[in-house]
Structure 1
Amino acid sequence: MTKKSLEAYLKPRIFDVRVSDQQVVRAYEVGPPDVPLVVGIHGTPNTGLAHVACYVANAPLFCRLITFDRQGYGGSTPEPGRKVTDIVHVVEAVLDHLGAGSAALYGHSGGGMLALAAAALIPKRVSKAACVSGNGPNTGSGGFDYTQGPSPLMQEEIVEARNNPAASREFYRRVAAKLLDPEIERQLYSENDMRVGILLAPLREKLARELELMDSPYSEEEAYVDDAQSWAAPWGFELGSIAVPTRFFYGLDDLMVARHHSEWMRSQIPNAGIDLFPHYGHSLSQLMPYVLAWLVSDSLTPLGSGSL
C-alpha cells in the first residue's frame, strides 16, 4: 500500500442520513470501500467524530467504519424522550442509505446498550455485536444494581436519573458538562484514559477543521438528559434474546463503569464472550483494532495459521 493510498483511506467522509421526515442523522465514513463494514455507536456525551479519530490514529484498514452522531448530538436531529430501542431505526436507516444488508456493530460506554438493542431487535442486520466499556441496565435479574461498584459520581448519576429529568439536568450542569475539569477528570478517568485523551485531542480537532464541522445547533444538555432517562427506564428488550455472536470488552482500571456490569450482561446472553484488560480504563481507544478485528474476523482472509 502506497503512502498516497493510505492517506486516502484515512480521509473521513461526512454525509447525512434521513431517518424520517423530521429526523436527520450526521454520519461519517472512513476506511477502504471493499473491506467488511462495521458500524460504531458513541457514548455519552460525545459524537461520532471521536470514533473517526480513533480509526485514523490506529489505521485498522481491514475494515470500513461507519459511525454517526446520535440523536441530539453534533449534527443529528434530537429525538426527545427517546428510549434505548430507538437506536434501531437509526441503524436501519444508515444501513439502508449505504445499501448494506447487514454489518458488524459495536457501541462504547453509553452506546454499548444500544449495540445490544440492535443485536436483539434486528438480528438479520447485525452480524456480530461488541459492547465496549458498557453500562448495564438500571436493575436486572439476580439482584443486579447499576449503583454497585462504579465511582461515586456515576452512582450519583443513575440515582439522579431515577428521580426525574430535572435531577439529570442538574447533574449534567454540575458534572457532565465539565468532563475536562481536573477535579472531575481524576474521579472518572484512569491515568491512561487521560494520557490517551491528550494524544487524540489534536487529531480530533484537526479532523473537525478538515470536515468543516460547525458547533452543534442542538443542546448537548438535552441529549444527555434523554440518555440518562433512557438508562433509568426499562431497555425494551431481553438480553437473553440476543442470538448473534456477542462479546464484551472491559478495562480493569475503568473508573466509570464497574466490572460486574460487563460480567453480568455476559451471563445473560447465551454463548457471549468477554475480554478483560489490565491497565486500561474506560477508554479502549488503543485496543479498538482488536475489537474491530473480532467483529470482522469471519470475513478476513487468514494470513497464517492463527485465528482471532
Structure 2
Amino acid sequence: MTTIVHTPQGRKLAVEEWGSPTGRPVFLLHGTPGSRLGPRPRAPVLYRLGVRLITFDRPGYGGSDPARGRRVSDAVDDVSAVADALGLDTFAVVGRSGGGPHALACAALLPERTSKAAVLVGLAPRTAEGLDWFDGMAESNVVEYSAASAGYDVIAERLGQAAARIRANPAQLVAGLFHELPEADRRVVADDGIRKMLWRNFAEGLRHSADGWVDDAMAFTRPWGFDPAVIETPTLLWHGEDDVFSPVAHCRWLGERIPGSVMAVEPGAAHFGALSVLPDVLRWLVTSAGVRDPC
C-alpha cells in the first residue's frame, strides 16, 4: 500500500514498503525513468533475507511532487524525510542505474544514518576528471544527456514527447531500446515477468508527466553537490562489463576514488544484470560483518 510522506518543504513523496516489516531497513532508489514499483526481489526472498525494502518515487515521478532544479545531493533530504516518517534512525541504501548517484549522496552526506551503500550499474559525475563520459554509451543516452546539457527546455521537449508515447504504450520504452541492448540484456528482458514489471514501473513513473525524468537528466549533467572521494560509508559498486547505458568505465572511475570501496565487475553481464544480483547485494547490505564482495 502506498504511503504519502510530506517533506519539510511540504512536497509529497509516494512511498512503498516490501518484505519483512521487522526486517533491517534498506532503501532501494529506482532507475531513470522509474518509480517505487520498479524491479525488486519477490516477497519470499525479502523475508528470507530479513529485509524491509523501502522505495519511493523521486520528485516528479509517479505520486511524488516535482522539485524542479533539484540536484543529486537533494535526495538526502527526501530519504531523511521518509526515514523520519517511518521511525528509522539508520538504514542501508542501494541505487540501481539512475538511483546510483543518489545512493552515493546518502553515503557521502548522511554517513551517520547510512550503514552501507551499494550502487548497481551507476553513473559517474559528468565532470569526472580523466573519464570520457560518453565512451561506450548507447546512442539514445548520448542524445538524452546531450539534450540535458543544452538546457531545460531542450530536454523537457524531447522527454515530454517520449513520456507521452510511453503513457500510451508502456511497452514502447523496452521495445524501442531493444536494438541497442547487448545479448546479455536481451536474455533478461526476454522474460515475460521482468518485461511486465518494467512496463508497470515506467507507466507509474511517467503517468502524470516527464518531470522526474527531465530533472534526473539535468541533475546527472550538473555538479552533484558532493565529491565521491569523501565517502567513508562501506560501499559496494557492481557493474556488468557489457553495459551500454552506463558504461563500466563509470564504475571503475568511482571505484578508484571512493576509499575502501569494493568493486565487482561481472563479465558477460550488462545493464539489466543488476536485477539478478540484487538479492546478493541486499544480503551484503544487511550483514553486520565487514565489507567483502558478495557477487
CA distance in 2 between counterparts of 1:280 and 1:22 reads: 41
- Aligned-pair CA distance for 1:281: 2.0
Q: Tell me which amino acid in the other structure corresponds to 1:88.
A: V
Instruction: State whether residues 193 and 280 of structure 1, in contact with CA within 8 Å, keep that contact through their aligned partners in structure 2.
Output: no
In the alignment, structure 1 residue 126 sits paired with structure 2 residue 102: no
- Among candidates 200, 205, 228, match of residue 194 of structure 2: 200
- Among candidates 225, 238, 243, match of residue 254 of structure 1: 243
Could you tell me which residue of structure 2 aligns to residue 113 of structure 1?
101
- Among candidates 59, 82, 98, match of residue 45 of structure 2: 59
- Note closer, same or farther for the CA distance 1:215–1:83 as it changes in structure 2 (3 Å cut): closer
Instruction: Summarize the alignment of residues 1-308 of structure 1 with structure 2, pairs less than 5 Å apart.
Output: 13-51=1-39, 54-56=40-42, 59-61=45-47, 62=49, 63-141=51-129, 143-173=130-160, 180=173, 182-188=175-181, 190-196=185-191, 198-202=192-196, 218-219=208-209, 221-283=210-272, 284-298=274-288
Does the residue aligned with 1:49 lie in a helix, a strand or coil?
Answer: coil
Instruction: State whether residues 175 and 184 of structure 1, in contact with CA within 8 Å, keep that contact through their aligned partners in structure 2.
Output: no
Instruction: State whether residues 247 and 274 of structure 1, in contact with CA within 8 Å, keep that contact through their aligned partners in structure 2.
Output: yes
Instruction: State whether residues 58 and 289 of structure 1, in contact with CA within 8 Å, keep that contact through their aligned partners in structure 2.
Output: no
Q: How many pairs were matched up?
A: 282
Cα RMSD of the aligned pairs, angstroms, is 2.8
Instruction: State whether residues 71 and 224 of structure 2, in contact with CA within 8 Å, keep that contact through their aligned partners in structure 1.
Output: yes
Could you tell me which residue of structure 2 aligns to residue 8 of structure 1?
none
Instruction: State whether residues 246 and 273 of structure 1, in contact with CA within 8 Å, keep that contact through their aligned partners in structure 2.
Output: yes
Residue-by-residue CA offset, 1:67-94 (whole Å, 9 max, x unaligned): 1111111111111111111101100011
TM-score by length of 2: 0.86
- Aligned-pair CA distance for 1:266: 1.0
Instruction: State whether residues 30 and 66 of structure 1, in contact with CA within 8 Å, keep that contact through their aligned partners in structure 2.
Output: yes
Q: Which runs of 5+ in 1 are unaligned?
A: 1-12, 301-305
Does the residue aligned with 1:235 lie in a helix, a strand or coil?
Answer: coil
Q: Tell me which amino acid in the other structure corresponds to 1:192.
A: R
Instruction: State whether residues 35 and 64 of structure 1, in contact with CA within 8 Å, keep that contact through their aligned partners in structure 2.
Output: yes
Residue-by-residue CA offset, 1:200-244 (whole Å, 9 max, x unaligned): 244678999xxxx9897631x222111111111101101111000
Does the residue aligned with 2:34 lie in a helix, a strand or coil?
Answer: coil
- Note closer, same or farther for the CA distance 1:188–1:225 as it changes in structure 2 (3 Å cut): farther
Q: Which of these two proteins has the greater Rg computed from alpha carbons? A: 1
Does the residue aligned with 2:173 lie in a helix, a strand or coil?
Answer: coil
- Aligned-pair CA distance for 1:174: 6.4
Instruction: State whether residues 44 and 110 of structure 1, in contact with CA within 8 Å, keep that contact through their aligned partners in structure 2.
Output: yes
Q: Which runs of 5+ in 2 are unaligned?
A: 167-171
CA distance in 2 between counterparts of 1:271 and 1:292 reads: 19
Poorly superposed stretches of 4+, deviation over 6 Å: 204-208, 213-217
Q: Tell me which amino acid in the other structure corresponds to 1:101.
A: D
Moved more, 180-189 or 283-292: 180-189
- Aligned-pair CA distance for 1:43: 1.1
Moved more, 274-283 or 179-188: 179-188
Provide the identity percentage: 33
